[in-house]
Structure 1
Amino acid sequence: MGLNQNQKKAVETTEGPLLIIAGPGSGKTFTLVERIHYLITKKNVSVENILVATFTEKAAQELMTRISNRLHQANISCNINDMYLGTIHSICLRILEENREFTRLKKNFMLMDQFDQQYFLYQKIYEYMRLPNMDLILGDKTSRWKRAEILLKWLNKVSEEMLDVEQLKSSDELQAQTLGYCYELYQQHLEEENALDFSTIQLEAYRLLKENRQITMQLNENLQYLLIDEFQDTNTIQEEIIFLLAGGNQNICVVGDDDQGLYRFRGATIRNILEFPSKFENGKCKQVELSTNYRSHPLIIQFYNQWMKQNNWSYEGKTFRYDKQIEPREGNHPESRTVIKVSGSDGLRNWEEEVYQFLISMKEKGKLTDWNEIAFLFRSVKNDKVVSLANYLEERNIPVYSPRSNMFFERKEVRLIIGAFMFLFPQFPKVRKWEEGSYLREWEIYDQYLREFAGELRKQENKKLLRWCQIRAKEHMNLHENTDYSFAGLFYQLLQFDLFNRYLEQDSYIVKDSRPVRNLSLFSKLLAKFEYLHRVTIFTPKTINTLLTTFFNQFLRFLINGGINEYEDESEYAPSGCVSFLTIHQSKGLEFPIVIVDSLNATPRKQYSELDEILQENFYRKEPFEPLERTKYYDFWRLYYTAFSRAQNLLVLSCQENIANGQGTRNVPSEPFLELYSKLKTWRETNDIYKLEIEKIKNVNIKKQYSFTSHINIFENCALQYKFYKEFEFSPVRQGATLFGTLVHQTIEDIHKYAIRGEELKIKEGNVEDWFNANYNNLVKKERVYLAPQTQKAALKQVLQYVDKQNNDWSHIKDAEVDVSLVKENYILKGTIDLIRGENNTVEIIDFKSEKKPDLFKEADMMYHYKRQLEVYAHLVEKRTGQQVSKMHLYYTGEEDSNPYVTFPKDIKAIGKTISAFDEIVKRIEDKDFLIKKRPEKHCRNCDMRFYCNEKL
C-alpha cells in the first residue's frame, strides 16, 4: 500500500513543528515508519539524531521491528538501537543512567512499579499520619492500604504537575499545605532508599535538563528530529521535557487524536495537543489531518462520527476538540448492516443467554473462523456482571481471555499453592491475630483454599505429597533451628509433586493453554518480591511467626484486595481460541473484526475533588484549560468513541435493557446512548451479518532481544532451565554468589570512567575503597543480599590488585561497560562490552572474571565457551560501530601469581560459525524447542527447578 496524499505530506514535512491529527484506522504507524525511513534515506539523518517517543513499551517494540524491517527491505544497514526510541519514561531513564553522576541517584538505584510504590508508602504510612491535618487528604476511616493508595495518587500528581513544594507548604489552604509536607517527606524517603518511582523518573530527568545546561545542549545537538506519538495522552512534565530536549531546534512532530484522549486520571492533559500550534510563532506549526479510515466499514465510521457530532464541545466561546470528519477508504464495501444490538429484553434478565446465542449463530451461520475475532469492551472487567458473563460463556465452551479481570486468586493452581502454604504453617492462632479486635475477612478465603488443598491430599495419587507436607508442617510448628529456605524455596520444592508439576508439563504455548503455568510463574515473582521487600532469605525460630503474619495479613491480603492481572502476551493481543474481554482503555490502539461494546448503563461522572480544584486554580503552572465541570462529559464521549472505533467488520452494542419504573432503577441504556441505540436493529432482525467477510486478527510482529549471557548461555547449559526462567519467567531464589562479581565489575567500571575522563590522578587506593564501599552499600540496598566481611575484603583485594597491575598507565582504556546492540533480520542481538585501544587504530575487547585463572587445559570447554562469548561481542562491535577488533581478552581479577590475561586472536571464520550457532539457538527458542537429551548435572545444583527435574527426568 502506498501513501495517500495527506500521509505523504506528513512524511515529507520534516522541518519545523508539525501536528499530525491521526483519526482511528488512518494508518498512523505506517506513516510514522515511512517518515523515519524518509528522514534516514532522503534527508540523510543518522539514527542517533532521531528521538521517537511512544505511549507503551509494546508500541515501541512494534515500531522498532517495523522500522528495522523497512530499512532491511531497502537494503540499508544501520543500528536502530542508536535511536532514542521508547516510552517517555524509558527515554528519561536512559538519559538519567547516562548522566547519573549529575543527579541525586547513586548506582544500583531501585525502580519501583506502582505496587512497590504503594507498598513502600504503606510500610511508612505512620510517619505520614504524624503530619498535621493528614485527615484532610486521607480521611480518617480508611485502612492503611487505602491510605497508601490515596497518598500515592497525590504524590504522583505533585511530580507530574511539577508543583512547587515550598509554595504548597506556605499555602493558606490546609490541604495544599499538608500535601507539600507529605511530598517533602516522600522525597526524603526516596533519597534514603536510592529509589525512583515512575513519576519521579520524569521529575529527575526534568531537573537534570534544567540544571545542567551542558548536558541539555549536547542532547539538543544530538536530537535533531523529535517524533512524539499519542501526544493527547502526555502530561505537563512530559511536554516540558519534550521541549527541553528539542531546544532551539523546532523539528518536533507530534501525532495523536484528541478524540482518543483517555488518561486524565493518570495526569494526561488534552491541552497539550489542542494548544500545540500556539507554542510557536503564528503560522509556523504545520498541521496535517489523517482522516481516511482503512479499518472500519463505512456504517461503523458513520456511527462514531454521529456519536461525536451529537455532543456539544464548546463552552464560553472556546471549543475543546479539533473539528474533523473521518471518511472511509475508497473502494467497494459490503452492503450490509454493520452496527447492531445484542441485548437482553426488559424484564427477562436474558442478556447472558442472548449474547451466547449471538456468538453461536456467528460461528455456525457466519464466517467466523476463530473466537479471537470477537472482542468485548467494558469500562471495567472486574465487576460481577462481567465475571458472570465470562463464567456463563466458559461453561458453554466459549473460552474467555480476560487477564485483567482480577481472577488470579480464583484460578485453581493459585488456590492450591496458597492452600499448600496454609497447610505447611499450622500456626493459625498466632498468625491470625491482627490489631486488637480486628477481624480479617481474608482468612475466610485462606481457609477455603486450605480446605481445597486438604481435599486433594486425601486422594491416593497425592499420598507422597501428604507425607512430605506433614513432616514440613511439624518442623515449622516447632522450629528449633534455621531452615535453608523461605517461601520461594518451599514453592520450588512443592513443584516436584504431581498436584503441581502437571501444570508444568504443558507443552502448548497458546495463552489459554499455558495460563496455569504462567500463573504459577507469576506467584513465584510475588514470593520473590515479598522476600526482597522484607529482606527474607530463611526462616528462623525467632522470625517465622512474624514473617507468616506479615505475609498473610499484609502482603497477600493487599494483593487479593488490589487485584492481580494475569499473564498477557505482548505479541498476541487476541489469543487464538478465545473471545477477548478487555477494558476500553486496554483496547486503545487495537482492532478487532467484531467488537461488542457493553457498559451502556454508564453515565458521565465527576472525577475531581476539592483538592484537585485548589491545585488547579492556585498551583498549576498554567491557567485552567478545560472547565472542570465539563471534563466528565468530554472524557465520557472520548472513551466510547475509542470503543466504537475499534471495530473492523461489525460493531455491536450490548446491554440488559431496563426501563426505569420509578422504583429507584434507571434506564439502560443510559440517556447518552439512547438516541443512537434506539435506531439499531437487533441481531435477530437481520441476516446481513452472516454475509460479512470477517477479517483475521493481525499478527503483532515484535523482534525479541537476545544476549549471550542472559539467553544463549542459559539455553546451551540447559534448554529446560531456559524454558522455565526465560520463556515462562519463573523468578529464581536469589543467589548471593553473583553479588561478589557485580561488586568487582562495578568498581572497575568506576575506575575506567575516571580514566576515560582524563582523571587518572583520582585512581588511588583511598578513592577506590570509597567507590567500592559506595557500590556495596547501594547493591545491598537494591539486592537485599549481603557479603561476609572476609568476602568483602577479598572482593576489594581483587580490585586493588587490578589497579596495581596497571602501573598508573590507563591510556589503553577506550570505553567501559558499553551497551551494544544490533538489529538483525529476525531478532536483536545485545551485549555489554569493555574496550581497550589496539594497534593500528583497532580495538580490543576485554571481559572481566572475578575469580582465579582456571587451568586452560582442564577447563578447555569453559575457555571455548568464553571465546564464543567474546566472538559475539566482536561481531557486535564491528557491525555496530565499524571499528576493527584485533584481539579479545579475558581478565581474571582473582589471579595473584601469574599473568591474569587469557588472549584470543580474532578469527573471522570462527566468529561466523559462532554467529550462525547463535542464529540457530534463537530459532530453537522462537520455535519453542526446549528438549534436552541428557540432564546437565553440574548446572543442577543451583537451579531451583532441580526438585521438579529430580522427579520428572
Structure 2
Amino acid sequence: MGLNLKQRKAVETTEGPLLIIAGPGSGKTFTLVERIHNLITNKNISAENILVATFTEKAAQELITRVSNRLQEEGIPFNVNEMYLGTIHSICLRILEENREFTRLKKNFIVMDQFDQQYFLYQRIYDYKQLPDVVDLIGHNTSRWKAAELLLKWINKVSEEILDIKQLKNSSNPKVKAIGYCYELYQQHLKDENALDFSTIQLEAYYLLKNHPQINDQLNEKLHYLMIDEYQDTNTIQEKIIFMLGGKLQNICVVGDDDQGLYRFRGATIRNILEFPKKFKDKTCERVELSLNYRSHPSIIEFYNGWMNQHNWSYKGKYFRYNKQIEASQREHPKGKSVIKVSGSDGLNNWEEEVYEFLIALREEGKLTDWNQVAFLFQSVKNNKVIALANYLEERNIPVYSPRSNMFFERHEIRLLIGAFMFLFPQFPHIRKWKEDAYLPEWELYDQCLREFGTELRKSENQTLLEWCRLHAREHMGLTKNTDYSFAGLFYQLLQFNLFKNYLEQGSYNVRDSRSARNLSLFSKILTKFEYLHRLTVFTPETINYQITTFFNHFLRFLINGGINEYEDKDEYAPSGCVSFLTIHQSKGLEFPIVVVGSLDKTPTKQYSELDEVLQDKYYHKEPFEPLEYTKYYDFWRLYYTAFSRAQNLLVLSCQENLSIGQGTRNVPTKPFVDLYDTLTSWRQVNNIYNLDIEKVRKGSIKREYSFTSHINVFETCALQYNFYKELNFSPVRQGATLFGTLVHQTIEDIHKSALRGEEDKIIKGNIEEWFSANYNNLIKKERIFLAPQTQRAALKQVLQYVKKQNNNWTHIREAEVDISLVKENYILKGTIDLIQGKDNTVEIIDFKSEKKPDLVKEADMMYHYKRQLEVYAYLIEERTGYQVSKMHIYYTGEEHSNPYVTFSKDTSAINQTISTFDRIVKRIEDKDFTIKNRPTRHCRNCDMRFYCNENE
C-alpha cells in the first residue's frame, strides 16, 4: 500500500510544528514509519537526531520492528539505541540515567509500579498521619490501605501538574495544605530509598532539564525531530518536557485523535492536542487530517460518525472537538448488515444464551475460523455479569481470554498454592487476629484454599507431598534456628511435586495452554516482591510469625482486593482459540474482525471531587479548559467512540434489555445509546450478516531483543532454565555471587567515567571507597541480599588493586558502558561494552571478571565461552560504529600476582561463526525448543528450579 495524499503530506512536512489528526484505521503507524524513513533516507538525518514517543511499550516495540524492517529493505543500518524511541516515561528514564550525576538519584535506583507505590505509602502511613490536617484529607476512620490509596491519587496529581509545594503548604484550605506537607515528606522518603514512581520519573526529568540548561541544550543539539504519538493522552508535565526537548527548532510532530482521549483519570488533558496549534506564532503549525479509514466496513464508520455527531460539543462559543468526518476507503466491501444487536429480550434474562447462540451460528455458517476473531469490549471486565458471561461461554467450550478480569485468585493452581502455604504455616489461624473481634473476609478464602489443598493431599498420588508438608509445618510451628529460605524458596521446592509440576508441563506456549504455568510464574513474582519490600531473605524464630501475618493479612489481602491481572501476551493481543474479553481502554489501538460492545447499562458519571475543583481553579498553571461539569459527557462519548471504531467487519451492540433488579427493572440500554440502538436489527432477523467476509486477526510482528549474557549465555548453560526464567518469566531468588561482581564492575565504571570527564585527580582512595559504599548500599536495597563484611572488603580490594595497576594512567580509556544494538533480520542484537584505545586508530574491547585468572588449559571451555562473548561485542562494534576492533581482553580483577589480562586477537572468521551460532540459538528460542541432552550439574546447585528438575530425572 502506498501513501495517500494526506499521508504523503504528513510524511514530507518535516520542518516546524505539525499536528496530525489521525482518525481510527487511517494508517497512523504506517505514516509514522514512512516519516522516519523519509527523514533518514531523503533528508540524511541520523537516527540519533530523532525522538519518537509512543503511548505503550508494545507500540514502541512494534514501531522499532517496522522501522528497522523498512530500512533493512534498503540496506540501511539502524541502531535502536541511537534513536530515542519508547514511551515518554522510558525516554525520561533514559535521560535521567544518562545524566544521573545531576539528579538526586544514585546507581541502582528503584522504579515502583502503582502497587509498589501504594504499598510504599501504606508502610509509612503513620508518618503521614502526624502531618498537619491530614485527617481532613484522608478521613478519620479510613483504613491504612485506603488512606494510602487516597494519598497516592493526590501525590501523583502534584507531580503530573507540577504544583508549587510552598503554595500548597501555605494554603488556607486544610486539605490543600495537607497535600503539600504529604508531598514534601513523600519526596524525602523517595530520596531516602533511592526510588522513583511513574509520575516522578517525569518530574525528575523536567527539573533536570529546567535546572541544568546545559543538559537541555545538549539534547536540543542532538534531537532535531520529535514525533509524539497519542498526543491526546499526554498530561501537563509531558507537554512541558516535549516543548523543552523541541528547543529552538520546534520540529515537533504530534499525532493523535482528540475523539479517542481516554486517560483523564491519569492526568491526561485533551487541551494539549486541541490547543497545540496555538502554541506557535503566526499560524506556523501545519495541520494534516488523516480521515480515510482502511479498517472498517462503511456502515460501521457511518455508525460511529453518527454517535459523535449526535452530541453537543460546544459550550459558550468554544468547541471541544476537531470537526471531522471519517470516510471509508475505496476498496470493495461486501453488502450486508455490519452493525447489529445481540441482546437478551425484555423480561427473559436470556442475554448469555443469545450471545452463545450468535457465536455458534457464525461458526456453523463458516464465518469464524478462529474464536480470536471476536472481541467483547466492556467498561470493566470485573463486573459480575461480564464474569458470568465468560463462565457461561467457557462451560460451553468457547474459551475466553480475559487477563484483567480479576480471576487470578480464582484459578485452581493459585488456590492450591495459597492452601499449601496455609498448611506450611499452621500457626497462622492462631496468630492472625490482632484483637479479639478482628475479622478479615480474606480469611474465608484462605481457609477454603486450605480445604481444597487438603483434599488433594488425601489422594494417594500426593503422599510424598503430604509428608514433605508435614515435616516443614512442624519446623515452622516451633522454629528454633534460621532457615535458609523464605516464601519464594518454599515455592520453588513445591514445584517438585506432581500437584504443581503438572501445571508446568503444558503442551504448547500459546496463551490458553500455558495460562496455568504463567500464573505460577506470576505467583513467584508476588513472593519475591513481598520479600523485596520487606527485606526478607530467611525465616528466623524471632520474625517468622510477623512475616506470616504481614504476608497474609496485608500484602496478599491487598492484592486480592485490588485485583491482579493474569498474563498478557505482548506479541499476540488476540490469542488463537479464544474470544477476547477486554476493557475499552485495553482495546485502544487494536482492531478485531468482530467487536461486541457491552456495558450499555452505563451512563456518564462525575469523575472529579470538590478538591479537584479547588486545585484546578487556584493552583494549576493554566485556567480550566473544558467545563468540569461537562467532562463526564465528553469522556463517555469518546470512550464508546473508541470501542465502536475497533471493529473491522461486524460491530455488535449487546445487552440484557431492561435488566431486572430486585423487584423492578432498569432501562437498558440507557438513554445515551437508545437513539442509535433502536435503529439496529437483531441478528436473528438479519440473514445477510453471513454475506460478510470476516478477516483473520492481524498477527503481531515484534522483533525481540537478545544479548549474549542475558539470553545466549543462559540458554547455552541450560535451555530449561531459559524456559523458566526468560520465556515463562519466573522470578529467581537472588544469588550473592552476582552481587559481588556487579559491585566491582559498577565501581570500576565510576572510575572510568571520572577519567573520561577529565577528573583523574578524583580517582583517589577516599572517593573510590565512597563510590563503592554508595553502590553497595543501593544494590542491597534493590537486590535484597547482603555481603559479609570480609566479602565487601575483598570486593573493594579488587577495585583498589585495579586502580593501582593502572599507575594513574587513564589515557587508554575510550568509552565506558557503551550500549549498542544491531537490527538483524529476525531479532535485535544488544550489548554493553567498554572500549579502550588501540593502535592505528583501532579500538579494543575489555570485559571485567571479578575472580582470579583461571588455568587457561584446565578451564579451556570457560575461556572459549568468554572469547565468544567478546566476539559478539566485536561484531556489534564493527557493524554499528565503523570502528575496527584489533584486540579483545578479559581483565581479572581478582588476580593479584600475575598479569590480570587474557588477550585474544580478532579473528573475523571466528566472529562470523559465533554470530551464526547466535542466530541458530535465537531460532531455537523463537521456536520454543528448550530441550537439553544433559543437565549442567555445575550450575544446578544455584538454580531455583533444581528441585523440579531433580524429580524429573
The alignment's TM-score, normalised by the length of structure 2, stands at 0.99
Aligned length: 953
**2:256 alignment partner in structure 1:** 256
**2:658 alignment partner in structure 1:** 658
**1:761 alignment partner in structure 2:** 761
CA shift at 1:474, angstroms? Answer: 1.0
**1:836 alignment partner in structure 2:** 836
- Unaligned 5+ residue runs, structure 2? none
The 5-angstrom pairing of residues 260-339 of structure 1 reads 260-339=260-339
Instruction: Give yes or no for contact 1:366–1:692 (8 Å, CA) kept in 2.
Output: no
**2:201 alignment partner in structure 1:** 201
Question: Secondary structure at 1:537's aligned position in 2?
Answer: coil
**1:598 alignment partner in structure 2:** 598
Question: Secondary structure at 1:282's aligned position in 2?
Answer: helix
Alignment of 1:150 onto 2:150:
yes
**1:130 alignment partner in structure 2:** 130
Amino acid of the structure 2 residue aligned with 1:708: F
Question: Secondary structure at 1:512's aligned position in 2?
Answer: coil
d(CA) in 1 for partners of 2:428, 2:570: 41
CA deviation profile, 1:436-492 (whole Å, cap 9, x unmatched): 532111110000000000000011111111111111111111111111111111101
**1:851 alignment partner in structure 2:** 851
Amino acid of the structure 2 residue aligned with 1:248: K
CA shift at 1:268, angstroms? Answer: 0.2
Question: Secondary structure at 2:81's aligned position in 1?
Answer: helix
d(CA) in 1 for partners of 2:765, 2:892: 20
Question: Secondary structure at 1:582's aligned position in 2?
Answer: strand
Alignment of 1:931 onto 2:931:
yes
Instruction: Give yes or no for contact 2:133–2:177 (8 Å, CA) kept in 1.
Output: no
**2:807 alignment partner in structure 1:** 807
Amino acid of the structure 1 residue aligned with 2:629: E
CA deviation profile, 1:299-326 (whole Å, cap 9, x unmatched): 0000000000000000001000000000
Instruction: Give yes or no for contact 1:780–1:786 (8 Å, CA) kept in 2.
Output: yes
CA shift at 1:818, angstroms? Answer: 1.1
d(CA) in 2 for partners of 1:818, 1:884: 16
Question: Secondary structure at 1:594's aligned position in 2?
Answer: strand
Alignment of 1:907 onto 2:911:
no
**2:46 alignment partner in structure 1:** 46
Q: Greater CA deviation, 599-608 or 329-338? A: 329-338
d(CA) in 2 for partners of 1:397, 1:770: 63
**1:408 alignment partner in structure 2:** 408
Q: Greater CA deviation, 240-249 or 664-673? A: 664-673
d(CA) in 1 for partners of 2:507, 2:661: 54
**1:688 alignment partner in structure 2:** 688
d(CA) in 1 for partners of 2:733, 2:425: 20
Question: Secondary structure at 1:82's aligned position in 2?
Answer: coil
CA deviation profile, 1:261-285 (whole Å, cap 9, x unmatched): 0000000000000000000012200
**2:446 alignment partner in structure 1:** 446
Q: CA RMSD in A?
A: 1.1
CA shift at 1:661, angstroms? Answer: 10
Instruction: Give yes or no for contact 1:506–1:517 (8 Å, CA) kept in 2.
Output: yes
**1:747 alignment partner in structure 2:** 747
d(CA) in 2 for partners of 1:650, 1:714: 46
d(CA) in 2 for partners of 1:366, 1:337: 17
Instruction: Give yes or no for contact 2:744–2:795 (8 Å, CA) kept in 1.
Output: yes
The 5-angstrom pairing of residues 1-400 of structure 1 reads 1-400=1-400
CA deviation profile, 1:785-838 (whole Å, cap 9, x unmatched): 111111111111100100100011110011111111111111111111111000
Q: Greater CA deviation, 420-429 or 833-842? A: 420-429
d(CA) in 2 for partners of 1:239, 1:299: 37
d(CA) in 2 for partners of 1:725, 1:429: 34
CA deviation profile, 1:41-93 (whole Å, cap 9, x unmatched): 11110000000000000000000000000001122123233100000000000
d(CA) in 1 for partners of 2:376, 2:147: 33
Amino acid of the structure 2 residue aligned with 1:597: V
CA deviation profile, 1:550-609 (whole Å, cap 9, x unmatched): 111011111101111000001000000000000000000000000000000000000000
d(CA) in 2 for partners of 1:615, 1:942: 54
**1:781 alignment partner in structure 2:** 781
CA deviation profile, 1:179-226 (whole Å, cap 9, x unmatched): 000100100100111100000000000000001111101100100000
Question: Secondary structure at 1:81's aligned position in 2?
Answer: coil
Amino acid of the structure 1 residue aligned with 2:40: I
Amino acid of the structure 1 residue aligned with 2:730: F
Question: Secondary structure at 1:219's aligned position in 2?
Answer: helix
Instruction: Give yes or no for contact 2:132–2:181 (8 Å, CA) kept in 1.
Output: no
d(CA) in 2 for partners of 1:491, 1:391: 29
**1:893 alignment partner in structure 2:** 893
Amino acid of the structure 1 residue aligned with 2:769: E
d(CA) in 1 for partners of 2:177, 2:765: 48
Amino acid of the structure 2 residue aligned with 1:412: H
**2:504 alignment partner in structure 1:** 504
Q: Greater CA deviation, 365-374 or 403-412? A: 365-374
d(CA) in 1 for partners of 2:570, 2:297: 27
Question: Secondary structure at 2:513's aligned position in 1?
Answer: helix
Amino acid of the structure 1 residue aligned with 2:701: N
d(CA) in 2 for partners of 1:634, 1:139: 31
The alignment's TM-score, normalised by the length of structure 1, stands at 0.99
Amino acid of the structure 1 residue aligned with 2:168: L
d(CA) in 2 for partners of 1:168, 1:93: 27
- Unaligned 5+ residue runs, structure 1? none
Instruction: Give yes or no for contact 1:366–1:689 (8 Å, CA) kept in 2.
Output: no
d(CA) in 2 for partners of 1:906, 1:663: 83
Q: 1:661 to 1:517 in 2, by over 3 A?
A: closer
Amino acid of the structure 2 residue aligned with 1:693: D
CA shift at 1:366, angstroms? Answer: 4.0
**2:622 alignment partner in structure 1:** 622
Moved over 4 A (4+): 659-664
CA deviation profile, 1:738-794 (whole Å, cap 9, x unmatched): 111111101100000111111111111111111111111111222221111111111
CA shift at 1:428, angstroms? Answer: 2.9
CA shift at 1:138, angstroms? Answer: 1.4
Question: Secondary structure at 1:80's aligned position in 2?
Answer: coil
d(CA) in 2 for partners of 1:507, 1:853: 44
Instruction: Give yes or no for contact 1:408–1:564 (8 Å, CA) kept in 2.
Output: yes
CA shift at 1:680, angstroms? Answer: 0.4
Instruction: Give yes or no for contact 1:81–1:823 (8 Å, CA) kept in 2.
Output: no
d(CA) in 2 for partners of 1:518, 1:541: 33
Alignment of 1:459 onto 2:459:
yes
d(CA) in 2 for partners of 1:63, 1:428: 50
**2:951 alignment partner in structure 1:** 951
d(CA) in 2 for partners of 1:182, 1:760: 42
**2:697 alignment partner in structure 1:** 697
CA shift at 1:435, angstroms? Answer: 4.8
d(CA) in 1 for partners of 2:500, 2:778: 38
CA shift at 1:662, angstroms? Answer: 12
Question: Secondary structure at 2:492's aligned position in 1?
Answer: helix
Amino acid of the structure 2 residue aligned with 1:619: Y
Question: Secondary structure at 2:820's aligned position in 1?
Answer: strand
d(CA) in 2 for partners of 1:717, 1:551: 35
Instruction: Give yes or no for contact 1:366–1:691 (8 Å, CA) kept in 2.
Output: no
CA shift at 1:876, angstroms? Answer: 0.7
Amino acid of the structure 2 residue aligned with 1:361: A
Q: Greater CA deviation, 428-437 or 98-107? A: 428-437
Question: Secondary structure at 2:282's aligned position in 1?
Answer: coil
Instruction: Give yes or no for contact 1:352–1:392 (8 Å, CA) kept in 2.
Output: yes
